[in-house]
Amino acid sequence: MTCLAAAIGLVAVIVVAVASRPHLGVARLPSVAPEALTAGTAAPDFDLERLGGGAPVSISGYRGTPVVLNFFASWCPHCRPELPALAALARSAAGRVDVVGVDSNDQDLAAVQALLASADATYPVAVDSKAQVSTQYLLTALPATYFIGANGRIMGAVFGPQTLAVLTTWVHRLLNASPVR
């Protein structure tokens, strides 16, 4: 009898444990922030062809002005929603903060130009067709945005599509930052 009572008790404990588990319909993986360049480090410089022609785009060419550096691609569905916000930010912050795009790992430049035109984005865009600059910035997914102080140093990074409100908050941080040497 004691063995039977113990077996029934064990079965009851297992049933309660299984029944009280959260629903497992959606697998949840541990959320780990993507690797990013450390705040305070110098932004890796690059010299890339400008989309649509003109002078090459070089991050060092913006030294003295804070920069919002956005990595995207025409094939990236998550990149599309934030492009109008970046275009609006470029217009509203003109003269105080520069917005620069980097089209990464994209072969269809006509699609890139059409995408930017539909977002009314007129800020400079560099062409990183082999994702070499994206690799320097430690990117493994798009979109990604780095915020670079006027001194050329990384202030922070965000991953995934951003809203105008989030981008504006970062612009305030860029403009109110103490210069880091």
CATH code for the domain in which residue 100 is found: 3.40.30.10
- Which residues, including other chains, have CB under 8 Å from residue 28's CB and lie 6 or more apart? none
How far is Cα 49 from Cα 57, in angstroms, rounded to an integer? 6
Question: Tell me: the pLDDT tens digits for 26-40?
Answer: 444 445 566 889 999
39 assigned to some structural domain: yes
Q: Is residue 2 part of a domain?
A: no
**Tokens standing for residue 105:** 């790992």
Kindly report the backbone phi and psi dihedral angles of residue 133, in degrees, each rounded to the nearest multiple of 5, phi listed first.
-70, -40
Q: What is the 3-state secondary structure (H, E, C) of the chain?
A: CHHHHHHHHHHHHHHHHHHCCCCCCCCCCCCCCCCCCCCCCECCCCEECECCCCCCEEHHHHCCCCEEEEEECCCCCCCHHHHHHHHHHHHHCCCCCEEEEEEECCCCHHHHHHHHHHCCCCCCEEEECCCHHHHHCCCCCCCEEEEECCCCEEEEEEECCCCHHHHHHHHHHHHHCCCCC
The total domain count for the chain is: 1
Residue numbers of the domain that contains 117: 34-58+65-176
Any domain includes 152? yes
Q: Is residue 27 part of a domain?
A: no
What is the mean predicted confidence (pLDDT) over 144-170?
96
For the cut 60, the answer to whether the pLDDT of residue 65 exceeds it is yes
Is residue 28 in a domain?
no
- Is 6 a member of any domain? no
Integer Cα distance of 71 and 144 in angstroms = 5
pLDDT at 35: 81
90 assigned to some structural domain = yes
**Inside any domain, residue 8:** no
Residue 56: band (very low, low, confident or very high) from pLDDT cuts 50, 70, 90: very high
pTM reported for the whole predicted model: 0.80
